[in-house]
Chain A
Amino acid sequence: MLSLNKIIFFPLKKYFIEILILINLLIQSLTGFLMLFYYIPSMEKGYESTIFIIRDVPLGYYFFNIHFWGAIFILILIILLIFKIIFYKLYHPPKEILWIFTFILFLLFSFAYFTGILLPMENNFYWQVERIMEILKEIPVLNSIYSFLFGNFIINKFVHIRFYIFHSFLIPSFIIFFLFLIFLNFEREKISPFYLHYLFILFLILFGILLTLSILFPFKISEIYEPFKTPKKIYLPFFLLPIYFLKIYLPKKIFGLIFLILNLLIFILPWVDKREPVPIYKNKISLSIFSLFIILIFLTGIFGFFKL
């Protein structure tokens, strides 16, 4: 008979963040799938049906809020994963493909956030989308990709339905595909019989955290979107704050180019950094550069937040 301890699987400690992302993705797909039953993909009915989900659907309140907090969590996890890969220099050949997939995964998750917040047609989210579009407009290659996918930088019913399709079907399938590719490259080992139990505990804890957050700090849904009335303050998701800071302080024409070059530099890290793959904390210079990099990101993020 098949015994659990004979199965070869990914070591839990080594790939903790990746497995957390997988569990979080499971929660996101579950809650998102259940909300799909009641959501009406149209500019007029979107807000109404979202309110209906939160207010009238049994447990709809939890689905919505867990999906909302889960989205923020998954973005935090993917950024942590990127830092982890840089920190342990896991991008070295022959693992450079892992690095590229992780980077693409980050782009996909942020794109899922961007398309997802338009769907409720709620005023704050609507203006967040407008602001993100303003940033996207300035970045050379991304804006052409965006224009190709969605037409112009305008929100109308066609764009809305495309956002819906991207958020609910296309992006999730791409994410699953790339996550599968990442996991395909992982080392495996014989797992203990308690491997699944631990996965269950992880799931419970993550679910518990999301549930606690959604009960204590539920998303306060405001009025329906008003395209001709700009609110006093438009918030941005935390991972876009450093980019927003760059957008404010750099001249308009250079910002997009600099942003693209920075991205490209991070992207081609495996081919630039050809030193021995030693973790960063063993080399003082690398450690100081890395910590300076993180502090810079944090500082720009905080300044960006106050400039909103």
Chain B
Amino acid sequence: MGKSVYLIENLRFSYKENHFELSVEKLEIEPGTIISMLGPNGSGKTTFLLLLGLIFPPSQGQIMVYGENPWTSAEKVLERRRELVLVPYPSYMFKGSVFDNLCFGLKIRGVPEKEWKSRVGEALEMVDLSGFEEVLASELSSGQAQRLALARALVIKPRVLLFDEPTASIDSNRVSTIEGLITEVNQKQGATIIFSTHNFSQGFRLADQVIYLSNGKITEYGHENYFSGKAETDGKISWLEPKKGVKIFFPGVYQGRVTCAIKPNQIELLPYEQKKMISGPNLFFGRVTRLEMADNDIALIRVSGQLNFRVNLRIEELAMKKVSLSREILVRFAPEVVEVIK
């Protein structure tokens, strides 16, 4: 494996206008990986993407890109910026046609004009917009504009693609196309892809690694279950209500906004028939909506119901726990396994 795409150390960034601060102690991103960035609104996802896209420099610390700090000269920043492309959300279309928009990145990189047509056609095909070359970009719907923004980045064939909420305005029947595209670009072009999303399922499904941001800090880095909300306490035990009437209990005294993390292998699945025999905190019911076999004899299960959970189970336990697709199931975990992130 070559040099890390990013090596971030003691990064700090704050805006002059408010008290928000993004801080990342250490993070290394290997080439060819897909990273998803999850977290509530205002947690710093977009700011982090802008820093990764070298749009502005960090206030402190450094971001090494392919082994060097680009912020030592304007030329280096520009050189590195041309290897990585950020697709902001909401996307902006330049005045002119779809073709003009797609050519912008090629033109500024000095790509020969004879290549433009074929590369534009290829990129448009990837996002299901073939034949739109002459259409005015201002006439596109928001979903089409977002797909065009993706194509405008793809046409450049960068080494790193940074997407801010790539499927936010895309209609539901095309989301899978974009998701497929992310995987395809990663596999065929070997591009490193970092994207932010509010869709936990999407974040975990597509990514090799997941970054969870909360209040400007990376709180976790892995496949976890996260729930955020306002914690309440009776002085002994605390709980939060991510959904009305559904409480997650955890030990300790907490008040105010918190995020809870529960590891998928610490969640127990029980046959739904045992519902009347079991009681206690953190018992939920749902239905198995996804069942995938991982390489290491582990089944990756998604349970959707009162709350949505990701659960890891050994394959041989599937039959014992009566776990199969679409089947109703009970989910339980001890309050002690709930990790609270303030």
A joins B in a complex? no
- B residues neighboring A (CB under 8 Å): none
- A residues neighboring B (CB under 8 Å): none
